[in-house]
Amino acid sequence: MRKMREGAPVVVHGLIKRFPVRRPLGEVLRRPLSRKWKQALAGVDLEVGRGEVFGLLGPNGSGKTTILKVLATIFLPTAGRALVEGRDVTREPGEVRRRVGCLFDPERGFYHRLTGRENLAFYAALDGLSRREGARRIEELLARFGLEGSGRVPVMNYSKGMQQRLGLARALLADPPVLLLDEPSRSLDPGSAAAFRRALREDLASRSGKTVVLATHSLEEGRACCDRAAVLDEGRISSQGAWPEVERFFAQPGDRAG
């Protein structure tokens, strides 16, 4: 593993995350002070450069989303460090949140009785955008993701693919330097997924200099988007490097993304 450079937009070093395990009531009554833990991350090291799309690959439960949620300050690390644009996720969570745009499960991130435009206006205000700047960004992003004709429709009437596109628009509202995307093209039809992947790599990363950390279990998505990637298995990195190296890892018998 190469030496960590704290000047990189995203730096993770020795990251460990454990979660308490729910115990049966009888066991709690017998041993009330005892706790069991599940280890989600077991000493992860990685860094992501500016203008780079970095993939986190692996099956469900491998730790991909946990890394993203630590970087987004949703989870606190049990041990280790995570820096975003030089800001520590534990010591400066507010500064970190101002520098990241996130896409997790969009179905849980919107008020379904509000329209798509009203949801984005709400989040634009939370992000500190002026009403004028927020309105400009909303129209720009609705057009970018093919939702300009659906902005006045309540989100409860959106398809899953439309909700996913609205989630991508929400992640980009404040024009953050770092994007954290969890399975960003799920629920998109093949044409929309291909267009999004091109935009992610050519527009957001190469042209606009965004740093992107993308979690996926799809080799196709990784191939289309990622400059480098890390392969996770049970909270540990099995392989890390430029995309061709990662593909060679998966070409070995018994290795797969899930």
Mean pLDDT of 75-103: 96
User: pLDDT tens for residues 28-72?
Assistant: 677 777 778 889 999 999 999 999 999 999 988 999 999 999 999
The answer as to whether 119 is a domain residue is: yes
Q: What values do phi and psi take at 250, rounded to 5?
A: -75, -20
The answer as to whether 115 is a domain residue is: yes
Interatomic CA distance for residues 142 and 23, integer angstroms: 46
Interatomic CA distance for residues 64 and 229, integer angstroms: 11
The answer as to whether 21 is a domain residue is: no
Kindly state the tokens that stand for 103: 């896409």
Residue 2 has a pLDDT of 45
Contact 59, 258 (CB under 8 A): yes
Q: What values do phi and psi take at 160, rounded to 5?
A: -60, -40
Interatomic CA distance for residues 114 and 116, integer angstroms: 7
The answer as to whether 130 is a domain residue is: yes
The answer as to whether 152 is a domain residue is: yes
Q: Count the neighbouring beta carbons within 10 Å of the beta carbon of residue 81.
A: 17
Instruction: List C-alpha distances in Å: 32 to 20, 22, 36, 39.
Output: 14, 12, 11, 21
The answer as to whether 129 is a domain residue is: yes
SS (H, E, C) the chain: CCCCCCCCCEEEEEEEEEEECCCCHHHHHHCCCCCCEEEEEEEEEEEECCCCEEEEECCCCCCHHHHHHHHCCCCCCCEEEEEECCEECCCCHHHHHCCEEEECCHHHCCCCCCEHHHHHHHHHHHCCCCHHHHHHHHHHHHHHCCCCCCCCCEHHHCCHHHHHHHHHHHHHCCCCCEEEEECCCCCCCHHHHHHHHHHHHHHHHHHCCCEEEEEECCHHHHHHHCCEEEEEECCEEEEEEEHHHHHHHHHCCCCCCC
The answer as to whether 146 is a domain residue is: yes
Range of the domain at 116: 110-171
Domain count, the chain: 1
User: pLDDT tens for residues 213-255?
Assistant: 999 988 888 998 899 999 999 999 999 999 889 888 888 766 5
The lowest-confidence range among 49-58, 147-156, 195-204, 229-238 is: 195-204
Percent of the chain with pLDDT over 90: 62
The answer as to whether 114 is a domain residue is: yes
